[in-house]
């Protein structure tokens, strides 16, 4: 069984530093996603754990072993590649058994493992086919099968579903979750798709320009983003941001004004630390929490630029008076139309607050949400 501890991991290519001191503790049996935009270093981090990249500094421990300088084959890991990396000239059985046979494993043991993996992934009838005779989903299963037969302590998956079409991706996602449940092995999964990350993971590592921006459960990331990057990255449509200044502070109660606000906004924080009045703060509000109100109640005033009607809900794109853009999610049948003047209220209880450096200023969550997050965390520990 294997937990992973990564300490101060650094990796660069030439003068470009891709990973800038990564520290992570992943528990045994956990399903963890590395999530981030292109170029954030998530694949490099995964490849470093796999032993496919040489580290500049730092260490990686798997279970009680230091695997930093160990050859890839000796690390007790298996990896699934984005483009499957199946050997095109070998049939499925050969693809699954190739590595095992060359490591001197006995014939019966190889057969047992191959048949077992084929059963789990329902590819038994495909064993004699070549990869080119398989569909995308079947190839992906074979690629996962090749990892299963190694019976590794750690599974590494590099965007394994990104080459599949949308429908198949959903099916495979469910299958992957079931597979993790069944095998109970630690899995690390790289993706740029937040839906995949949110639905599959026990915890998500959000990476931004080579650094861990936040490491938490999916709901934590959504409801308690640690900074502006995570707040903007998690959730679709993305969170709206409005700048404002603190005009009054009474311990933990702040009154915000100016910037993009048409009316003062008062809210409570969890801290009574003094916030500088000369530096702007950023208010974050999810599109579905914005309320359409009468002009006198409005915190924000703007014009509707575009209404996207999706059926259950409609996305209203708004240009604010100060030039900023905003999105509001309203019910599908709301009569709002293009070029209409619109008045929005920011409910204080639903907004996030970030200081001038983009760090979150902690706020209390409603009891229901807090309970959900606690539940998620306790499930992980169990």
- Taking CB under 8 A as the criterion, the residue among 57, 135, 338, 374 binding other proteins is 135
* C-alpha closest to that of 83 among 30, 162, 174: 162
Residues touching other proteins, count (CB under 8 A): 38
Question: CA-CA distance, 60 to 239, in Å (whole number)?
Answer: 35
* C-alpha closest to that of 126 among 158, 86, 163: 86
Query: Looking only at residues 222 through 281 of this chain, which bind other proteins when binding is defined by CB under 8 A?
Result: none
Asked if 115 interacts with other proteins (CB under 8 A), we say no
Interface with other proteins by CB under 8 A: which range of 82-90, 216-224, 328-336, 369-377?
82-90
* C-alpha closest to that of 181 among 202, 211, 197: 202
CB of 58 to other proteins, least distance (A): 20
- Taking CB under 8 A as the criterion, the residue among 88, 184, 258, 295 binding other proteins is 88
Of residues 146 and 153, the one with the C-beta less far from other proteins: 146
Question: CA-CA distance, 372 to 199, in Å (whole number)?
Answer: 15
CB of 141 to other proteins, least distance (A): 11
- Taking CB under 8 A as the criterion, the residue among 13, 37, 66, 73 binding other proteins is 73
- Taking CB under 8 A as the criterion, the residue among 38, 132, 294, 381 binding other proteins is 132
- Taking CB under 8 A as the criterion, the residue among 3, 27, 50, 324 binding other proteins is 50
State the virtual CA torsion across 356, 359, 362, 366 in degrees, nearest 10.
110
Give residues with Cβ within 8 angstroms of 369, minimum separation 6: 219, 223
Give residues with Cβ within 8 angstroms of 69, minimum separation 6: none
CB of 187 to other proteins, least distance (A): 15
Asked if 183 interacts with other proteins (CB under 8 A), we say no
CB of 52 to other proteins, least distance (A): 5
In this structure, the strands spanning 253-257 and 240-250 are antiparallel
Q: Where are the alpha helices (DSSP H) in the chain?
A: 42-50, 92-102, 107-121, 136-148, 166-183, 194-200, 218-223, 228-233, 367-381
Residue 182 CB burial class (10 angstroms; 0-12, 13-18, ≥19) = exposed
Asked if 160 interacts with other proteins (CB under 8 A), we say no
Looking at residue 92, the DSSP 8-state letter turns out to be H
Query: Looking only at residues 289 through 348 of this chain, which bind other proteins when binding is defined by CB under 8 A?
Result: none
Asked if 78 interacts with other proteins (CB under 8 A), we say yes
Of residues 41 and 218, the one with the C-beta less far from other proteins: 41
- Taking CB under 8 A as the criterion, the residue among 83, 128, 266, 271 binding other proteins is 83
Interface with other proteins by CB under 8 A: which range of 18-26, 86-94, 116-124, 213-221?
86-94
CB of 151 to other proteins, least distance (A): 12
Asked if 148 interacts with other proteins (CB under 8 A), we say no
Contacts 24+ apart (CB under 8 A), 123-127: 123/92, 126/92, 127/91, 127/92, 127/93, 127/96
Asked if 79 interacts with other proteins (CB under 8 A), we say yes
- Taking CB under 8 A as the criterion, the residue among 98, 237, 376, 380 binding other proteins is 98
Give residues with Cβ within 8 angstroms of 162, minimum separation 6: 82, 191, 192, 193
Are 258 and 213 in contact by the 8 Å Cβ rule? The answer is: no
Alpha-carbon distances of 372 from 194, 221, 353, 375, rounded to whole Å: 19, 13, 21, 5
* C-alpha closest to that of 140 among 167, 121, 112, 166: 121
Asked if 42 interacts with other proteins (CB under 8 A), we say no
Asked if 69 interacts with other proteins (CB under 8 A), we say no
Asked if 128 interacts with other proteins (CB under 8 A), we say no
CB of 123 to other proteins, least distance (A): 13
Q: Which residues bind other proteins (CB under 8 A)?
A: 50-52, 72-74, 77-79, 81-85, 87-90, 98-100, 102-103, 132-140, 146, 150, 163-165, 168
């Amino acid at each position: 069984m294997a937990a992973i501890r990564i300490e101060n991991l650094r990796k660069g290519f030439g003068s470009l530093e891709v990973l800038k001191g990564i520290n992570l503790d992943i528990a045994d049996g956990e399903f963890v996603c590395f999530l981030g935009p292109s170029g954030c270093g998530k694949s490099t981090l995964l490849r470093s754990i796999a032993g496919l990249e040489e580290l500049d500094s730092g260490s990686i421990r798997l279970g009680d072993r230091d695997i930093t300088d160990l050859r890839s084959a000796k690390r007790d890991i298996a990896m699934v590649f984005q483009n499957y990396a199946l050997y095109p000239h070998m049939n499925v059985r050969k693809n699954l058994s190739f590595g095992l046979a060359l490591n001197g494993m006995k014939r019966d043991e190889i057969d047992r493992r191959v048949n077992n993996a084929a059963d789990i992934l329902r590819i038994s009838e495909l064993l004699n086919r070549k990869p080119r005779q398989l569909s995308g989903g079947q190839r992906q299963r074979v690629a996962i099968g090749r990892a299963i037969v190694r019976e590794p302590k750690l599974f590494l998956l590099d965007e394994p579903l990104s080459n599949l079409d949308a429908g198949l991706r959903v099916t495979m996602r469910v299958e992957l979750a079931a597979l993790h449940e069944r095998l109970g092995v630690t899995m690390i999964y790289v993706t740029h798709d937040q839906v995949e990350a949110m639905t599959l993971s026990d915890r998500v590592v959000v990476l931004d320009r080579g650094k861990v921006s936040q490491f938490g459960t999916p709901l934590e990331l959504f409801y308690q983003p640690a900074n502006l990057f995570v707040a903007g990255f998690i959730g679709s449509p993305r969170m709206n941001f409005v700048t404002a200044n603190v005009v009054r502070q009474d311990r933990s109660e702040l009154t915000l004004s100016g910037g993009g606000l048409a009316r003062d906004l008062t809210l409570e924080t969890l801290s009574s630390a003094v916030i500088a009045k000369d530096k702007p703060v950023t208010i974050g509000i999810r599109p579905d929490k914005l309320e359409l109100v009468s002009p006198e109640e409005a915190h924000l005033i703007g014009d509707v630029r575009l209404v996207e009607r999706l059926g259950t809900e409609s996305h209203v794109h708004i240009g604010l008076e100060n030039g900023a853009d905003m999105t509001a999610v309203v019910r599908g049948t709301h009569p709002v139309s293009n070029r209409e003047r619109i008045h929005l209220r920011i409910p204080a209880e639903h907004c996030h607050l970030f200081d001038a450096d983009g760090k979150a200023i902690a706020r209390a969550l409603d009891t229901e949400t807090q309970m959900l997050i606690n539940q998620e965390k306790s499930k992980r520990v169990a």
